[in-house]
Amino acid sequence: MASKVIHAIYNDDDILLNAVKKVRDEHYHIEEVYTPFPVHGLEKAMGLADTRIAITSFLYGLVGLSVAIIMMNYIMIQDWPQDIGGKPSFSYIENMPAFVPIMFEMTVFFAAHLMVITFYMRSKLWPFKKAENPDVRTTDDHFLMVVDTGNHDIEQVSSFLSSTGALEISIHENDEDH
Looking at the chain, the whole-number percentage of residues with pLDDT higher than 90 is 56
The residues, ordered by sequence, that sit 6+ positions from 114 with a Cβ below 8 Å of its Cβ are 56, 60, 63
Say which CATH architecture domain 2-49+131-175 belongs to: 2-Layer Sandwich (3.30)
d(CA 97, CA 8): 59
Over the stretch 2-25, which tens digit does the pLDDT of each residue have? Answer: 688 999 999 999 999 999 999 999
Domain boundaries, the chain: 2-49+131-175, 53-123
Model pTM score: 0.71
39-64 as b/e, with b when 16 or more CB fall inside 10 Å? beebeebbeeeeeeeeebbeebbeeb
Over the stretch 76-126, which tens digit does the pLDDT of each residue have? Answer: 888 887 777 676 677 778 788 888 999 999 999 999 999 999 999 988 888
